[in-house]
Amino acid sequence: MHGSATDGRRWLPVLPLFEKRFTSCVLDRRGHGESEDATSYCIEAEFDDIATLIAAVDGGPVDVVAHSYGALCALGAVCRGATIRRLVLYEPPLPMEPGRYFSTGSQPDDARGHCAQGQRGGF
């Protein structure tokens, strides 16, 4: 998942390395690259975009690599119940104050604990 001011092409230099071991998919977040403009650009809609894509993938839980703002979106997808097995977040701009991007009770530490216990969604 790419960050702000870029698109999925950001991953092209490393995509061949991922494709040696994984079936790979590069997403252009709404309003970036080849994705169409949307009527809404709230972060919660981006959580849902990622969760919807993951739900469409056959074969069970997926691994997600995400950068910057895209990392926040991927983390939000976990909080929405996306079936993510492993989540690699590179330079996520995590806020210092609770509730800034995620509602209270859905902070990254809570998500990590729930994921470690095999729980998805509902937190």
Residue 36, in any domain of the structure: yes
Structure tokens at 19: 């494709």
pTM of the model: 0.73
Report yes or no on 46 lying in a domain. Answer: yes
User: 56 versus 95: which is more confidently predicted?
Assistant: 56
Cβ contacts of residue 63 below 8 Å, gap of 6+? 22, 84, 85, 86, 87, 88
- List pLDDT tens digits, range 84-117: 999 999 998 877 666 666 665 554 556 556 556 6
60 or 13, which is more confident: 13
Count of domains observed in the chain: 1
Average pLDDT, the chain: 81
The reply to whether 33 falls in a domain is yes
Tell me, yes or no, whether 1 lies in a domain.
no
Residue 3 lies in a domain: no
